[in-house]
Every structure is written in C-alpha cells, then in structure tokens.
C-alpha cells in the first residue's frame, strides 16, 4: 500500500482507518491498529444498540403489564352532574380541590430520608394481633360504643345502634398492581365475609391505603348477597371510582365538607381534613379528602382520615364535639411532608382541639410508608399523651374496646425497638399557630 500525502501531521491519510483487515504500510502499522480499534468499536456499538432495544422493550412490557393490571384499580374521573357538583364546592378551584392552608413539601429532605431511614421501619417478627371474633362484633356493645381497630385506618365503629366500617383495606398490597407495592405485615384479623351487617362504609379519600379496589368490589358483592342496604359515604368525586367498579349510584352518598347524612338514627358529618388525593400521575387532587364525625343519640366519635394539623380542627370541636373517642392518625409522617400527616404530638393536639375524651391512635402498625421506626408513632403518642394528661388507649390490631365512663387501661403490646423522640425529629405543620400543651388549659 502507498502512503498518500495528507494534511495530518503523522503523514498518513486518515481514510485508511476505515479498513477492517490487517494492512501493513511504511506508516509503522498505524493503519493496522486503527482498523482493529474501529472494528471493536463498531461491534460494541451494535451490542449496545441491540441491548438498549431489549432493555426498552422489557421496560415497555413491564409498564404495559402494570397499566393493564391496574387499569380498573386506577378508578375513573367524575363527569356530568357529579363533576358539576364538585365544581360548586368552596374547596374546588381551577380544576382541583385545594386546602385552605397549602401543603408544604421538602424534596431534599425526602431524598435525604432514603439514606437515613430507620432500620426498624418494618417489624422483624410477627406483629401480635388479635383474631377478631365475628360473634362478638355481631353483638351490640353493652356501653353503646365499641371500636374494633383492624389495622391502619380500618375500623369497625359500633355507635348507638349503627355500625360503620372506615377505610376498609383487606388486600395484601396497597397498590393498583397486585405484585408490587407496600405489603401488609399480617393477614386481615377477620374475613371480609365474616363481618356483621354494616350500615355504612365510610371512605376518607382515594389513596390506595384507604380506598382499596378489591375490597370495595368484594364488599359490594357481600352487600348484594346479604341485602343489607349499606351506604358508601365518600367525599366529592370518589363516587366515580365506585360506580366504575360496579357499586350502584343508589348505594353511594357523596359529601362535601360540613355536609350531613343519616344512616338510621346516626348522623354522619363530613368534616375538613388537610391532605391530598389521587390514584395516578394525572389526577392529583381531582377528588376531595375528609374526616368524619359520627353523632349518635348518646355518643360521638371523630375519625380524622389522613390529615395534617389545621386551624379548622378547633371549629370541628366547637360545632360537633365533645367526642367520646377520637380516632386520629399518628403514623407515616416525616419532616419532609409535615402537612400531609400530622405526627404523634400534633395528633394529641388535634384530639384536644376537637374536644376528645379518649384518644385511639390509628394509621400505624400495618404498612411501611415512611422513614420512621414502626413503633415510633405509638411511643411518641404515648409520651405526648402523658405530657398533656390525655387518656390514650392502645388496642392490638383486631382488638375491640368498649368505651364508657372508665376507659380501658393502656396496654403495651409492641416490642422495644429504637425510636426518635419529638425533640430529635419534630413534626410541625406549617401555617398553624402553636397549640398550648399545658394540661387543663384550652389548646
């Protein structure tokens, strides 16, 4: 081969680099080396391209499988008169529902928390639950008020002749897809089919750990078979999900904040909460979130749903309290999202603001949804209750407690594991005035 003149300083024409066979020249073997290197590069490039296509195909297949698997569980958007009613709500603005006090989020703390999370976020052994006795929960409570905690925010509330089931979740995972997502730590403490007659199923909002598609479908079938006449009481917009899943419109009661409805002699009042909603990436805050007050002939109970602390809690207490029992969330909090979940100390504040007598902490001990240790919510709730002289009850999951003049003694059933105190990891909701925590003082 003749080495042709070139402007390149080494005197070898660069066009020779396209040769893919060994070639000798008076250029000192440079063409041989360049050709070999480029052969390797071309081969690697082909492998990368082919691998990339396979990776993209796998990702697309998984995504498509997830969409198909979760399609029904995603629910449905409201339309027609349901949508028109939503738009008339004082809480609806510019296409979605809003909180009077906007939610604060700290993205950096959220990311940081992934690397500093407690090693005890989930129990290392079995959670000591109680198998709920179907015969017992079918009997009316002697005191007129009984609460059975089924884990997280699922409760069976028997109050003055009415029976309410809140935020029922019986699935193994809280996810639109059955094979991925947060997994529950123990089986349901009672079979869905073993539940006694329900007067109402109450849902606080449409997040997956509160509105569970398979459970709603199963409950609807149970109600059909038993001919119970049960009503589903849900916040504005959530009814669209239920109708899409087969629940008849006649069985659904949609409520706005401060709306009232009756099941038998029990009045159910939808009260404000400070949270959010959504089941996909595209329906953020498309439905309302709420708490509830259950007002019987002799007893009153408050169910917080998911919430941060907010000023209107004082209004709830003034308008609807005092409450014989408050069921307020204490878990799944973090300083990165202090307005989404109230935290243990502020849950005690909320109990006092709504004028509660007995405080039953919920929304803990079933799922791993935050960075704190799994027993930390109840440890901190107990400490805060003691500081403010609040009566705290701590039933095991599946356990029933009757509430009369003398509240049940507090029972410690969870193990000793490391946890952070309020001083080490304070949870303080934004845009809320501090609450006076002095025992006996008006908060």
| Same domain, yes or no: 269 and 214 | yes
Structural domain contains residue 82: no
| Same domain, yes or no: 133 and 50 | no
Residues in the chain: 443
Domains of the chain: total? 2
How far is 206 from 239, CA to CA, in rounded Å? 10
Q: Helix or strand or coil: residue 200?
A: strand
Q: How many CB atoms lie within 10 A of CB 187?
A: 11
To which residue do tokens 């019986």 refer?
A: 170
The number of angstroms, rounded, from the C-alpha of 94 to the middle of its chain's C-alpha atoms is 25
Which stretches of 109-243 are assigned E, i.e. beta strand? 145-149, 155-159, 162-166, 200-202, 231-235
pLDDT of 56 reads 67
Structural domain contains residue 436: no
How far is 404 from 385, CA to CA, in rounded Å? 19
| Same domain, yes or no: 267 and 178 | yes
How far is 377 from 79, CA to CA, in rounded Å? 39
Query: In this structure, what CATH number is given to the domain that contains residue 342?
Result: 3.60.15.10
pTM of the model: 0.86
Structural domain contains residue 255: yes
Query: Could you tell me where the DSSP H helices lie in 196-274?
Result: 213-226, 238-244
Q: Give the contacts of 48 (CB within 8 A, at least 6 positions apart).
A: none
pLDDT of 27 reads 46
Prior bond to 322 cis, omega within 30?
yes
Cβ-based burial of 239 (10 A; exposed 0-12, middle 13-18, buried ≥19): buried
Which stretches of 111-177 are assigned E, i.e. beta strand? 145-149, 155-159, 162-166
| Same domain, yes or no: 193 and 65 | no
Tens of pLDDT along 166-217?
999 999 999 999 889 999 999 999 999 999 999 999 999 999 999 999 999 9
| Same domain, yes or no: 376 and 250 | yes
| Same domain, yes or no: 118 and 58 | no
| Same domain, yes or no: 11 and 135 | no
pLDDT of 178 reads 87
Structural domain contains residue 355: yes
Domain with 158, as residue range(s), is: 107-402
Structural domain contains residue 421: no
pLDDT of 408 reads 82
- Nearest Cα to Cα of residue 199 among 99, 248, 268: 268
The pair phi, psi for residue 60, each rounded to 5°, is -65, -40
| Same domain, yes or no: 167 and 282 | yes
| Same domain, yes or no: 70 and 173 | no
Of 74, 97, 120, which marks where a domain is finished?
74
Instruction: Give yes or no for a contact between 224 and 63, defined as CB atoms under 8 angstroms apart.
Output: no
Bridge partners, 146 (sequence order): 158, 402
pLDDT of 21 reads 41
| Same domain, yes or no: 233 and 306 | yes
Q: In what order do the strands lie in the sheet with 391-392?
A: 260-263, 266-271, 291-295, 300-303, 323-329, 356-362, 391-392
Dihedral sign of CA atoms 370, 376, 378, 381 in order:
negative
Query: How many CA atoms are closer than 13 Å to the CA of 113, on its beta-carbon side?
Result: 18
Q: Residue 49 carries which DSSP code?
A: H
pLDDT of 41 reads 64
To which residue do tokens 């907010």 refer?
A: 310
pLDDT tens, per residue, the chain with 443 residues:
444 344 334 444 433 333 334 444 444 455 565 666 566 666 666 666 666 666 666 665 555 555 665 689 999 999 999 999 999 999 999 999 999 999 999 999 999 999 999 999 999 999 999 999 999 999 999 999 999 999 999 999 999 999 999 999 999 999 999 889 999 999 999 999 999 999 999 999 999 999 999 999 999 999 999 999 999 999 999 999 999 999 999 999 999 999 999 999 999 999 999 999 999 999 999 999 999 999 999 999 999 999 999 999 999 999 999 999 999 999 999 999 999 999 999 999 999 999 999 999 999 999 999 999 999 999 999 999 999 999 999 999 999 999 987 778 889 999 999 999 999 999 999 999 999 998 888 88
Instruction: Give the angle 98-102-107 at the CA atoms, nearest 5°.
Output: 120
Six token digits for residue 173: 């995972």
Tens of pLDDT along 47-68?
666 666 666 666 655 555 556 6
Q: Residue 331 carries which DSSP code?
A: -
Structural domain contains residue 409: no
Q: Give the contacts of 274 (CB within 8 A, at least 6 positions apart).
A: 99, 101, 103, 307, 308, 309, 310, 339, 429
Structural domain contains residue 434: no
Dihedral sign of CA atoms 153, 92, 346, 157 in order:
negative
| Same domain, yes or no: 38 and 175 | no
Query: How many CA atoms are closer than 13 Å to the CA of 298, on its beta-carbon side?
Result: 14
| Same domain, yes or no: 43 and 131 | no
């Amino acid at each position: 081969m003749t080495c042709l003149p070139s402007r390149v300083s080494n005197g070898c024409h660069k066009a020779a680099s396209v040769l893919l066979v060994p070639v000798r020249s008076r250029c000192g073997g440079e063409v041989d080396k360049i050709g070999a290197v480029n052969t390797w590069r071309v081969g690697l490039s082909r492998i990368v391209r082919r691998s990339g296509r396979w990776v993209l195909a796998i990702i697309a297949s998984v995504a498509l499988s997830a969409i198909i698997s979760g399609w029904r569980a995603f629910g449905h958007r409201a339309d027609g008169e349901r949508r028109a009613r939503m738009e008339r709500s004082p809480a609806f603005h510019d296409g979605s529902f809003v909180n009077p006090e906007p939610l604060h989020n700290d993205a950096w703390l959220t990311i940081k928390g992934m690397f500093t999370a407690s090693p005890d976020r989930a129990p290392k052994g079995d959670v000591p639950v109680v198998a709920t006795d179907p015969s017992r929960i079918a009997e009316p409570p002697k005191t007129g008020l009984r609460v059975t905690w089924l884990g997280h925010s699922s409760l069976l509330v028997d109050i003055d002749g009415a029976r309410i089931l809140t935020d029922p979740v019986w699935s193994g995972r809280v996810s639109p897809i059955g094979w991925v997502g947060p997994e529950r730590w123990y089986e349901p403490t009672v079979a869905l089919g073993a539940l006694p007659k329900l007067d109402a199923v109450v849902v606080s909002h449409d997040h997956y750990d509160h509105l569970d598609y398979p459970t709603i479908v199963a409950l609807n079938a149970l109600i059909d078979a038993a001919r119970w006449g049960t009503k589903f009481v849900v916040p504005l917009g959530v009814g669209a999900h239920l109708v899409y899943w087969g629940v008849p419109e006649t069985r659904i009661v949609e409520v706005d904040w401060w709306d009232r409805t009756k099941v038998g002699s029990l009045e159910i009042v939808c009260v404000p909460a400070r949270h959010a909603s959504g089941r996909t990436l595209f329906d953020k805050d498309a439905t309302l979130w709420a708490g509830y007050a259950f007002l019987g002939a002799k007893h009153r109970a408050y169910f917080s749903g998911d919430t941060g602390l907010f000023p209107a809690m004082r209004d709830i207490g003034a308008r609807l309290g005092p409450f014989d029992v408050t069921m307020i969330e204490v878990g799944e909090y973090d300083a990165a999202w202090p307005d989404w979940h109230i935290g243990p100390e502020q849950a005690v504040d909320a109990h006092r603001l709504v004028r509660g007598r007995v405080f039953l902490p919920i929304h803990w001990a079933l799922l791993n949804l935050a960075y704190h240790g799994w027993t930390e919510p109840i440890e901190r709730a107990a400490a805060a209750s003691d500081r403010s002289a609040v009566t705290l009850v701590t039933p095991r999951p599946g356990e029933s407690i009757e509430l009369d003049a003398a509240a049940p003694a507090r029972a410690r059933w969870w193990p000793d594991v490391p946890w952070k105190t309020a001083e080490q990891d304070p949870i303080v909701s934004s845009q809320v005035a501090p609450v006076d925590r002095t025992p006996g003082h008006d908060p």
